[in-house]
Structure 1
């Protein structure tokens, strides 16, 4: 069972071309247009859960990252063939810019 935030993430990802990613800010704005900043933390938490379930991939610098260890700016994409199958295979991206 998914949450309303997870449903919004998945529906936005379904609406973009295969292989394209979305900005978590667009998810937050879809949920709470006037106070979207307050929702960003919840979007992140729900995105991490979807990544753990293998439904999506969290990207930093356009590369899949470990959803348990990433920091900083990120994007979301549906899982594709060739994506890491375990968290250990995903980059352990810190917050370096």
Structure 2
């Protein structure tokens, strides 16, 4: 895992920690926190970091308010939520 992967995972954790326990974040929130002016290229790396954290049991990835079964196949907007 690269240092940028660890940075993305850390940013997800930090943003979630700064919100209410039942709040979620968008991958774009993470990307904008790291690269405010050039955040779009980070969208897929952020989604990949969220998938790793979901595999580790740290977060859930939701779509339409429901936890996705297989985050590697989900298309469209997602949210990242702390695991229960």
What's the TM-score once normalised by structure 2's chain length? 0.89
Give structure 2 stretches of 5+ with no counterpart: none
What's the TM-score once normalised by structure 1's chain length? 0.78
Most deviating of 61-70 and 33-42: 61-70
Give structure 1 stretches of 5+ with no counterpart: 81-97
More helix as a share of residues = 2
**Number of equivalenced pairs:** 80
More strand as a share of residues = 2
User: Which portions of structure 1, spanning 4 or more consecutive aligned residues, are displaced by more than 2 angstroms?
Assistant: none
1:74 aligned onto 2:53: no
Report which of the two structures shows the higher radius of gyration computed on alpha carbons: 1
Higher relative contact order (CA 8 A, sep 6+): 2
